[in-house]
Structure 1
């Protein structure tokens, strides 16, 4: 039997659903995810703890989508990880965010609908958000020591594409 996480990832990222169904799944997920973060960011020091099912009910998200939320937030928690690989609805999980990690990871995921939420104004200064944004963008910049990479050069990532058709696009965003 597939775990909750395997079920989530298969439907969200796999080819089990048709393109239109998968698009609808993601639209619903992004809407639920935004509401989740709006609530979490109202009091970023609050620690949520309970079974997956209890927390899903608290946030008014069904267990399937809440599994996706837990998968997405796991790298932004304070010094621990939930057992997302093996969890079921009765698994006790904890959500205690590290606001700077969370903001950085939202920028990395290009989730401007999340790192642009007005709730951030009360948590991190505009200057700190700009620093974290720039720090994350620099972390993905491809540089060769001593040699400039031109748009028509082969991409240094090894994809075989020209730099302008590969990582140059990503670095420009």
Structure 2
């Protein structure tokens, strides 16, 4: 059975046998392509870009596999996710994205070349971008509750020591 487009893309992009320099060049050029596509998409965030995988690749002047990589990256930020696991060149896909999700996912991916694009300035004010950035960063922060000591008063309010109450 032949590999799906997504499997082919991931085979190239995450090839552990590839030369490190080649992979760096690959990702460097991919990130530039990705940036150019996002610049175009963010110019008209309300516009719903649709078409087959092949048509979108042609529209953005890319190879089909590069477009598959882009679709893989944006999928979680879309209003309706595309069937990336099973798609082929003729699968109809949509790039209708949720701006807030997209911005936060770019922050989560530490893709400053994307969440700092000037196109965001027309979508969100600086304060809104800072708020979204902070929300995303805090969503990954784990805060531990202060541990109750055995001989401290029980937090349930019974007045007993923790070890004699809820700590049994």
Q: By the TM > 0.5 criterion, same fold?
A: yes
The aligned residue for residue 119 of structure 1 is 119
Distance 1:13 1:107 in 2: 22
1:138-157 superposed matches below 5 A:
138-146=138-146
Where has structure 1 moved over 6 Å in runs of 4 or more?
none
C-alpha RMSD over aligned residues: 1.0
Q: Count how many residue pairs are aligned between Structure 1 and Structure 2.
A: 146
The aligned residue for residue 89 of structure 1 is 89
Distance 1:18 1:85 in 2: 27
The aligned residue for residue 61 of structure 1 is 62
5+ residue gaps, structure 2, are: 148-168
Distance 2:55 2:40 in 1: 16
Shift in Å, 1:142: 2.2
**Contact 1:41 1:119 survives alignment (8 Å):** yes
The structure that has the greater radius of gyration is 2
| TM-score normalized with structure 2 length | 0.84
Shift in Å, 1:16: 4.0
The aligned residue for residue 158 of structure 2 is none
The aligned residue for residue 31 of structure 1 is 32
The aligned residue for residue 17 of structure 1 is 18
Shift in Å, 1:112: 0.2
Distance 1:23 1:123 in 2: 32
| TM-score normalized with structure 1 length | 0.82
Q: Deviations over 1:17-48 (max 9, x none)?
A: 22122111101100100000000000001111
